Structure 1
Amino acid sequence: MNKLYDEIYIKYSNDIYRYLITLTNDKYLSEEITQETFFQAFKSIHSFNGKCSVYTWLCAIAKNCLKKHYNRNSKYVYNFDFDNLSSKASDYPQSYDLYSALSKLKSPYKEIVQLHVFDGFSLKEISDKYHKSESFAKVAFLRAKKMLREEIKKT
């Protein structure tokens, strides 16, 4: 059984680490959660039913381990600064929550946040892109921030 564990770890540890890096943007946290992922996986390997690939199963465990970490350190989630969204996009504890909540926004709110926060477009430039007034972009951005706030509080 130890040989099986070694093979799984050798084959998937780098992939799981890279997956976690994309979620956290923090190498130390990703290393910690990678180790926890394999600990949990080996502890419950009997529950692996083969309905998905080993990699998919490990990613699910990694995501759950990361969520547990964030829940234990809930100060990261509830101290979310919505007035400085662009700085939070690279702050690992909050970036996971931000990207997760952002993925649930509908159009045009999602696009407006992406254009304004991540791509650096002004609200005036966004309004021109949508052929609407600048008020449209301002109101939509404020609504999007409100939706993000509500979505993050759910997690």
Structure 2
Amino acid sequence: MQDIEKFYNDYFQTVFKYLFCMTHDADISEELTQETFYQAVKTYDNFRGDCKVSVWLCQIAKHLWYKEYRSRNKYTSDSIDEISDSFHATENVEHIILESDSKIALYQKLQTLDEKTREVIYLRLTGELSFREIGEILNRNETWARVTFYRGKQKLMKEGQ
């Protein structure tokens, strides 16, 4: 039992940050992190060892997130409730809508990038991971993560002009 606890403590932050980059929701990330470790412990005997443990865990986490995402409704009433609640708050609704539109536009532009570049940008911006950590998660090196991020950023800037 002590080994499982050490395993969990060693990799929890990496998996949680990775999931948070994709979900943008701490509660969902926490839930999926727990499920990731459950699946990892359950299938540890199948781990071939051809990649780092953190990479293996992030692969499990990614598959669990995709499964969760598909099972959820794409459109919920939460976004409408957020706008109506903020209307009664001190913030200006117009500002919130414009900010929301710019986020939507950014995410739409990110969808034009290839999957690896998009994943590097998500991990860097929303997960606040270092290029070294990103390289480890994606089974590449730090330089590859830097170059991929830079090229993706340049492509987004070109499209924005």
- Please give the range of the TM-score, normalised by the shorter of the 2 chains: 0.5 to 0.7
Relative distance call for 1:76 and 1:47 in structure 2 (3 A) is: same
Q: More relative contact order in 1 or in 2 (CA 8 Å, sep 6+)?
A: 2
Relative distance call for 1:65 and 1:8 in structure 2 (3 A) is: same
In the TM superposition, what is the alpha-carbon distance from 1:99 to its structure 2 partner? 7.7
Q: Secondary structure at the match of 1:102?
A: coil
Aligned length: 101
Q: Give the ranges of 4+ consecutive aligned residues of structure 1 lying more than 4 Å apart after TM superposition.
A: 110-113
CA distance in 2, matches of 1:60, 1:76: 23
CA distance in 1, matches of 2:41, 2:104: 34
> Amino acid of the residue matched to residue 69 of structure 1?
E
From the CA coordinates, give the structure whose radius of gyration is larger: 1
In the TM superposition, what is the alpha-carbon distance from 1:3 to its structure 2 partner? 2.2
TM-score normalized by the length of structure 2? 0.52
CA distance in 1, matches of 2:113, 2:59: 18
Relative distance call for 1:23 and 1:3 in structure 2 (3 A) is: same
Alignment of 1:6-155 (within 5 A): 6-73=5-72, 75-76=73-74, 86-88=102-104, 101-104=111-114, 114-115=156-157, 126=161
Gapped regions of structure 2 (runs ≥ 5): 76-99, 116-151
Of all paired residues, the percent bearing the same amino acid is 31
CA distance in 2, matches of 1:29, 1:89: 24
Question: Could you report, residue by residue, the CA deviation over 1:108-153 in whole angstroms, capped at 9, with x for unpaired residues?
Answer: xx87983499xxx5xxxx1xxxxxxxxxxxxxxxxxxxxxxxxxxx
Question: Could you report, residue by residue, the CA deviation over 1:24-78 in whole angstroms, capped at 9, with x for unpaired residues?
Answer: 22111111111111111111111111100100000000000100101111x318x
CA distance in 1, matches of 2:154, 2:2: 51
